[in-house]
Amino acid sequence: MNEFNDFVSQGYWWLSLLGGLHCLGLGLYIRYIYREKNGNQKILGSIFSLMALYFFTGLLTKDNAPAPIHFIFILIIPIYFLLMPMLYLYCHRSLNDAKAPSGFSPHFFPALFVAMTVLATAGYRVLHQGELPDISLSFNSGLSHLNHLSLLGAALPGLLFIQTALYFYFILKMLSRYPSRTSRLHQESLKDIKFRWLLVLTLALMSNWIVRAVLVILPFYFGEQLIHINHVATKLVLLLTVYILAIYGLKQITYAAFLRGRLAQSQQKSPMKASQQLLSSEELAYLQKLMQDEKK
């Protein structure tokens, strides 16, 4: 049994490292190399960078953490409140072809408020205790022994889950307003490619949050023992999702480039076709004959 636990622990560590590096590399590529006219690649790159942070937290253990592990996680959780607002802004700006810089959106205010609350509570705790608190988030022995920081840390996963559910509802509602393609059958467009990408990205993140809620959040609140393999499963599913999104995104970019090239060719040929439709060869010959007669 100990050998199996060691194998799971080693696999979890390497999976966290591999997923973090891949998400960080993908986020940097999207942000600084892949360009969009409206600058939305910055938001998408930030989303994958936030996923990288989630993976890298798996590298922290009680042995190598610079502070109590639960204390570090409480300080990191407020950053996750930025994920769904960024996804919402990315979908909204992409569907509406927004050109102006997004700046600091009001959608980020809840994350800022949660971060300030956590920092204030942690600072108050450290000042009164004189050292970094060694807190516990276990519900097995009741809530009476938990301090304010522990209660806040216990409430954050639930608040994050509620925020995620609300934003998924608003994003799907926004995507459902996208006009139907029934009026332009057999006419593939760049807007259709963009819409499918946004839908796939939203459903992929939603699936991962459902898996995380079932395997991690619900057992945490119902007092069941958190099995280490549950965390391995959530990060493995997320890593596979990142690979699928990368492959699908590359396919969509390639197809969009093909459509842009075909559209450019059709625009170059259209003036010639228009002139041919205005006058036939016989009519052009007749006009030339009249011009010659007038010169004579």
143-198 confidence digits (pLDDT tens): 444 466 677 777 888 898 899 999 999 999 988 887 654 444 444 566 777 888 88
Which residues have C-beta within 8 Å of that of residue 257, sequence separation ≥ 6?
none
pLDDT in tens, 236-290: 888 898 888 888 888 877 777 777 676 666 656 555 454 444 555 666 676 677 6
Higher pLDDT, 140 or 47: 47
Q: How far apart are CA 203 and CA 225, in angstroms?
A: 29
For 117, the domain range is 2-295
User: Is the distance from CB of 51 to CB of 270 less than 8 angstroms?
Assistant: no
pLDDT, position 142: 45
pLDDT, position 136: 54
Q: How far apart are CA 146 and CA 272, in angstroms?
A: 79
Q: Which of 46-55, 222-231, 262-271, 286-295 has the highest mean pLDDT?
A: 46-55
Cα angle at 46 between 166 and 104, to 5 degrees? Answer: 70
Task: Check: pTM over 0.85? Answer yes or no.
Answer: no
Q: Name which of 238, 258, 261 is nearest 250 in CA terms.
A: 258
Q: Name which of 211, 227, 235 is nearest 57 in CA terms.
A: 235
Higher pLDDT, 225 or 154: 154
pLDDT in tens, 12-21: 888 889 999 9
Q: How far apart are CA 221 and CA 165, in angstroms?
A: 17
Ranking 163-172, 190-199, 216-225, 226-235 by mean pLDDT, the lowest is 216-225
pLDDT, position 87: 93
Q: How far apart are CA 115 and CA 259, in angstroms?
A: 44
**pLDDT over threshold 90, residue 120:** no
pLDDT, position 73: 82
Q: Residues of the chain with pLDDT > 70: what percent?
A: 71
The number of domains in the chain is: 1
b/e map 263-272, b = 16+ CB within 10 Å: eeeeeeeeee
pLDDT, position 169: 93
For the segment 115-139, the average pLDDT, to the nearest whole number, is 69
pLDDT, position 211: 85
